[in-house]
Structure 1
């Protein structure tokens, strides 16, 4: 198909699903350079009608297949429960429509490979909607890493926890629908760690489950090979509590802390790394005072004006989903079926690691 980069026209989007993430996608469409909302279909027709009332001009289809075959739609955003992602992506691909599928892309790596293979065979664009990878601040971090500003990469620490009561039928928590903290939130940490530090090996992890088998809290460690040296990522996620929801990227020269929640960050702080021995001896009175409770408070107060500390600003309008929308538009305009920012092999590698964790009843190593 001819994309907006070559004709100036916009990609007409159809949405599978009418829940919260579908509404956020539709709301952020107004900030997109390349897309426009055209249609919606839902498992419950009444919900689709209600969605269309919120977004006037949206055509309602009673059936997913009918929407996919419509000449009024160029691309489809799959926003249905996780367990339906594979089947709904395949419906869109079989109709020749570009696919942006909400994370997690599929319930396991085998499903993801099936969808990716179908898209490749049909020469159709297909991408996981890991929207955080497309935020302006993530591009900023990649540039700082590439320039050497942070030094040799050493560690990434990410926490992501949003307390959510478990209930049957909830696609976020119900394991029968592909729910649970591991797939809902763990995929963010893994994907962003890969994006910033490169391919990884799962070194170990543990998952705490509810009586229904839903993953409520999980923690895991990744090892990355970066320029001949190893960097580690430690990631924790939870539906059982609220976490700090920050991301700290640490190098040998500087570290960056992204404001919470990091998956939607528009701001961060760059801080220098100072090694012991560069100033006061570790056992000196000055060093002990610096490490005391009062010393830590004082350092926080003056951090903003100390040399080397800087605020990173990359704000945006809306929720930030417009950037993944525009990535699809740019790829289609350039005749590409794969995004370099979110390629299928990365999606599959993340799902492989999630499977290893999800299949473990105890810690793995």
Structure 2
């Protein structure tokens, strides 16, 4: 009988929110497709917190030790450090699984993607979302018909969200942070993955508080042939985090609500969730497990559904154009 492959040795750089989520996804399940062989964060307090919660976790002295111990390096550090760690991992023959955005400088991101090829991927969990899979099935079955328009709406009571307060130093800075990079990027990836290339952008972003990230964005563009309207706001809702991705056509409409819930519009004009829809707190661990399975396939040179570096760069190009309030060619 053929033995199942042994778990992939995964190293983690960054012990913040996303690093901890990934640890939970690996250590909180039986027969995980990866095993964490090393973790490092430059902040002693972060290392102490992680060590207290996961006492058996192998903490190492620096990023180089993470690279040396692993076959794939998961980079969950702040954006300005992404490319330095990614280049070091690739130079050592490792694969890279990186948080978005790839970099804070677009020219550097373009150079990296041109060099890296298919040896890396970016953590856009919609690539492994059960709710997104339901949407894709509905669209393929004709629930929307001829696609006419897409509306993306994101709203937050405050930014950063309450659970991100410890990372406010960079998450609310105009160079690295803001909800367009942190949240809207996921819905741009979803639009690119399901509908086609993003182009023809016209956008405006508002930065009313000096030294802080945007508080409003408005944009229109196309995803494939579909016109898209995007609206993002901070402070116009009491909800911590609310979002909808709504695709309408001549035959009907479908949407993804609050990150995970696939809904379909009925004859009465109301949206109803899929019978098996899960709220995000239950759907997220499943998506991360599927992401990790994709990481294994990517590292072993097999086909996978993860967001490619090229897709992530295309998303970042649109994100930065939105924040610049500029226009891209049609």
Residue by residue over 1:31-51, the C-alpha shift from the partner in whole angstroms, topping out at 9 and shown as x without a partner, is: 474122222100113422321
Shift of residue 340, structure 1, vs aligned partner: 4.7
Equivalent in the alignment of 1:68: 67
TM-score relative to the length of structure 1: 0.76
> Residues 14-33 of structure 1: matches in 2 within 5 Å?
14-29=11-26, 30-31=28-29, 33=32
Task: Tell me the residue number matched to 2:137.
Answer: 143
- Return 5+ residue gaps in structure 1 as ranges: 274-298
Q: CA deviation at 1:106?
A: 2.0
Task: Give the corresponding residue for 1:311.
Answer: 274
- Aligned-partner Cα distance in 1 for 2:317–2:76: 22
Q: 1:161 aligns with which of 155, 166, 173?
A: 155
Residue 253 of structure 2 is aligned with which of 228, 231, 255?
255
For 1:115 and 1:6, the matched residues in 2 are separated by 37
Q: Which of 298, 308, 323 does residue 343 from structure 1 map onto?
A: 308
Q: CA deviation at 1:60?
A: 0.6
C-alpha contact 1:40 1:61 (8 A) present in aligned 2: yes
- Larger mean CA deviation between 105-114 and 73-82 belongs to 105-114
Aligned length: 314
Equivalent in the alignment of 1:186: 184
Map 1:1-150; keep pairs closer than 5 Å: 7-29=4-26, 30-31=28-29, 33-70=32-69, 73-120=70-117, 125-150=119-144
* Structure number with larger C-alpha Rg: 1
Q: For residues 364 and 11 of structure 1, what CA distance do their matches in structure 2 show?
A: 42
- Cα distance, 1:239 vs structure 2: 4.3
Equivalent position SS for 2:101: coil
What SS does the aligned partner of 1:204 have?
strand
SS at 2:140 equivalent: helix
**Cα distance between partner residues in 1 of 2:122 and 2:273:** 33
Cα deviation digits, residues 222-263 of structure 1 (max 9, x gap)? 2133xxxx311222234445464122122221211323x22x
SS of match in other structure, 1:59 = coil
Number of the residue aligned with 1:289: none
CA RMSD, 1 decimal = 3.0
**1:294 corresponds to which residue?**
none
Equivalence map 1:197-236=2 (5 Å): 197-209=195-207, 210-212=209-211, 214-225=213-224, 230-236=225-231
Mean Cα deviation higher: 81-90 or 143-152:
143-152
Q: Deviations over 1:282-334 (max 9, x none)?
A: xxxxxxxxxxxxxxxxx57xx58xxxx6635243555432222121113334x
